[in-house]
Chains A and B, each alone.
Chain A
Amino acid sequence: MKNKIKNLGVTVALATGGEYQGIDLTIQSVFGIITGLACWFTDFALVLIVVYVVVYGVKFMTAQGNATKYEEAKKSLTWGLLGILIILGTYTIIYTVADFLGGDYTLLTPLTCS
């Protein structure tokens, strides 16, 4: 087995001198990366909202009057709506916490997602 791996003869395409330009990663750019991830995550959540509202709608339809299935679908949608409320109200939660603590948190501006 060991020998087999050795003899695979993998060739790696190497960037030749001067052609390869790495990205300058600085500690200051970490903030931008984290912000970008948070932004991406928020966008992802927005897509999920649409998907799951449709899924729960289908759940209601397939219940076909079956009482157990209907209750289950209702429960799913209720918690789903709470989830939507939390996703859309992220900044409301953050500002409420900040306001409750009574500070002047001028740094707390919504993330700028481009």
Chain B
Amino acid sequence: MKNGVKYFTILAFSIVFLFFPKNDTGAATCTVTGAKWVNSGAVVGQQIGMIATVNDVQACQGVNVGINIFEDDGLFDENIATLLNNPFSGSSKDFTISYILTATDYIEGGNEVGGETIYFTASVPGQTTPATSANISFKKTTTGVAINFDVNPRVLPRSNITTAVANVVIGLAEYSSYCRNSNITSFIFSVMWDYPVGADLMQFSKTINFSRTSSTVNVPIREDFTANIGSGKQNLYALIECPNGDDVTESNRIEVSGGTGLGSAIYSCVGPDPSGKNVYICSSSNLSNCSDTSGCINKNECSQIRSSLCGQPVSTQGKTVCGNNICEPGETIDTCRSDCVGGGGGGCGTTGQPACVPGTSQSFTFSIPNPLKGGADDFSELVKIIAEWIFNLAIPIAVAMIVYSGILFLTAGGEPGKITKAKDVLKYAVIGLAIILIGSGFITLIKSILELGGNTPTP
């Protein structure tokens, strides 16, 4: 009973202490509760303003507000500037700090061509979670160059020729100072494929000259180039560089559809046959530059056509006609479906065929797309795909078996029977692994045995 009273007293005191209001509520601690930019965008050399909002003007008097400016990279944000010595003053909760962004800051942030995105954080000493501002853009400088870019056609199967149409407006004063050349008369124009992962791939590049006639020079560009881009929706853009290779500006993105597209297509060039008539000369090994075919030497163009057209006369000169049942160079499934797919060559009523007559027999072509996503066209390819899958499975199993034999050795405790079992497990794991690794090599081995004495088979 005595103890009970003691415990009750302790409990009562604890409760009083727990719920007693703390005596430091009068002096609130200073924290930064908000952060926002004064400017909506920034360029190198510009003075920018950052507003840090605090919770209590009195408590924050003289407290250092630390500012960190970051470049937003999505994953690893780079700290481009740190401003530590900003004692709070004034009677407003909003405290403005000014800073001039330098070229060094821009390089610190990754030196991206298209500009960077920056934000800042503000905090006072002891504040664990700083206030973070919204993102604004941070551009290198005004380069004085503006570009409008387009390509035609926008459907680009592999190695198809397209025309880049661009209009470049150059402010001579800014461009000259940017490229550090007061008498500059040229720039490098490149068409880039905005590769989804990794570095963008250049499709075409050319040095364009202009004359310094007025303070603003307008340079129209019209250049044919061969696009080699991936399938599906892709983006192309133009890149302007100083003659020394410094990036100046990137253009707008143009969405194009790329791909291999032509079905059973073959590379060919156009050249005269023995009688002097222009025909399609097909590359015998289907090379993308037709270099293996004598008729195509010294011919620039080598494009894909439907393989049935090999040796056929070229019907139109330079122009493609959609609906003539000939898949001409430049025509693709996307631009002229009826010519480049078997569809037009089918029954009556389709393009290029007479109208259907009731009562007569009609023929149509159908095609069933291959449901196998692995792209297996015959049985041996299918076997290959399945074998590859089993091979992938076999490696972790081999790891597990070898580890298992190790465990058996470990737990054997010197008993001869168990050690023999462990040795067997290891032996057969290694033998099995060897067989898996040889795999399809067995067929080659048997084949090579059958060819003994003949020519040495290619490995």
Please give the residue numbers on chain A whose beta carbons come within 8 Å of chain B beta carbons, in ascending order: 27, 30-31, 34-35, 37-39, 41-42, 44-45, 48-49, 52, 56, 72, 75-76, 78-80, 82-87, 90-91, 93-94, 97-98, 100-101, 103, 105, 107-108, 111
B136 at the interface (CB under 8 A from A): no
Contact present for B410 and A41 (CB under 8 Å): no
Specify which of B399, B402, B407, B441 is in contact with A48 (CB 8 Å cutoff).
B407
Q: Which residues of A contact B404 (CB under 8 A)?
A: 41
* Nearest CB in chain B to that of A34: its residue: B396
A41 to B401, CA, bound (A): 9
Contact present for B406 and A87 (CB under 8 Å): yes
A111 to B393, CA, bound (A): 11
Shortest Cβ distance from residue A110 to the other chain B in the assembled complex, whole angstroms: 9
Q: Which residues of B contact A93 (CB under 8 A)?
A: 402, 430
Contact present for A45 and B393 (CB under 8 Å): no
A106 to B410, CA, bound (A): 31
B252 at the interface (CB under 8 A from A): no
Contact present for B407 and A105 (CB under 8 Å): no
Contacts A31-B393, A41-B404 hold; do A48 and B437 have CB atoms under 8 A apart? Answer: no
Would you list which residues of chain B between 392 and 425 have a CB under 8 Å from chain A?
Answer: 392-393, 395-400, 402-414, 419, 422
Q: Which residues of A contact B441 (CB under 8 A)?
A: 103
A92 to B393, CA, bound (A): 19
Q: Which residues of B contact A75 (CB under 8 A)?
A: 414
A48 to B391, CA, bound (A): 29
Contact present for A97 and B433 (CB under 8 Å): yes
A87 to B400, CA, bound (A): 9
Contact present for B397 and A38 (CB under 8 Å): yes
Contacts A76-B414, A111-B399 hold; do A83 and B422 have CB atoms under 8 A apart? Answer: yes
Contacts A79-B419, A90-B399, A94-B398 hold; do A101 and B406 have CB atoms under 8 A apart? Answer: no
A27 to B400, CA, bound (A): 20
Q: Which residues of A contact B413 (CB under 8 A)?
A: 56, 76, 79-80
Contacts A83-B406, A87-B403 hold; do A111 and B396 have CB atoms under 8 A apart? Answer: yes
Contacts A41-B403, A52-B410 hold; do A31 and B430 have CB atoms under 8 A apart? Answer: no
* Nearest CB in chain A to that of B429: its residue: A93
Contact present for B407 and A83 (CB under 8 Å): yes
Q: Which residues of A contact B407 (CB under 8 A)?
A: 44-45, 48, 83, 87
Contacts A97-B434, A107-B395 hold; do A49 and B410 have CB atoms under 8 A apart? Answer: yes
Contacts A41-B403, A97-B433 hold; do A80 and B395 have CB atoms under 8 A apart? Answer: no
A14 to B338, CA, bound (A): 56
Q: How many A-B residue pairs have CB under 8 A?
A: 109
Shortest Cβ distance from residue A85 to the other chain B in the assembled complex, whole angstroms: 8
A80 to B414, CA, bound (A): 8
* 29 A-B pairs in the complex with CB atoms less than 8 angstroms apart: A31-B396, A35-B396, A38-B396, A38-B397, A38-B400, A38-B403, A41-B399, A41-B404, A45-B407, A72-B414, A75-B414, A76-B412, A79-B419, A82-B409, A83-B407, A83-B408, A83-B410, A84-B406, A86-B403, A87-B402, A87-B410, A91-B399, A94-B398, A94-B399, A94-B402, A98-B437, A101-B437, A103-B441, A107-B392
Contact present for B396 and A86 (CB under 8 Å): no
Q: Which 10 A-B pairs have the closest CB atoms?
A: A83-B409, A83-B410, A87-B406, A86-B406, A75-B414, A38-B396, A76-B414, A38-B400, A76-B413, A83-B406
Q: Which residues of B contact A101 (CB under 8 A)?
A: 434, 437-438
* Nearest CB in chain B to that of A37: its residue: B400
Contact present for B392 and A31 (CB under 8 Å): yes
A39 to B430, CA, bound (A): 19
Q: Which residues of B contact A44 (CB under 8 A)?
A: 407
Main SS of the interface on chain B? helix
Shortest Cβ distance from residue B41 to the other chain A in the assembled complex, whole angstroms: 41
Q: Which residues of B contact A35 (CB under 8 A)?
A: 396
A97 to B395, CA, bound (A): 12
Specify which of A34, A49, A78, A98 is in contact with B397 (CB 8 Å cutoff).
A34
Interface centre among A49, A82, A91 (most CB of B within 10 A): A82
* Nearest CB in chain B to that of A71: its residue: B414
Contact present for B437 and A45 (CB under 8 Å): no
Contacts A86-B409, A97-B437, A101-B434 hold; do A107 and B403 have CB atoms under 8 A apart? Answer: no
Q: Which residues of A contact B419 (CB under 8 A)?
A: 79
Interface centre among B396, B411, B412 (most CB of A within 10 A): B396
B426 at the interface (CB under 8 A from A): yes
Contact present for A34 and B403 (CB under 8 Å): no
Contact present for B403 and A84 (CB under 8 Å): no
Shortest Cβ distance from residue B353 to the other chain A in the assembled complex, whole angstroms: 45
Q: Which residues of B contact A103 (CB under 8 A)?
A: 437, 441
Q: Which residues of A contact B405 (CB under 8 A)?
A: 83, 86
Shortest Cβ distance from residue B76 to the other chain A in the assembled complex, whole angstroms: 21
Q: Which residues of B contact A34 (CB under 8 A)?
A: 393, 396-397
B8 at the interface (CB under 8 A from A): no
A93 to B426, CA, bound (A): 10
Contact present for B409 and A80 (CB under 8 Å): yes
Shortest Cβ distance from residue A94 to the other chain B in the assembled complex, whole angstroms: 6
Specify which of A39, A79, A84, A100 is in contact with B414 (CB 8 Å cutoff).
A79
Contact present for B396 and A37 (CB under 8 Å): yes
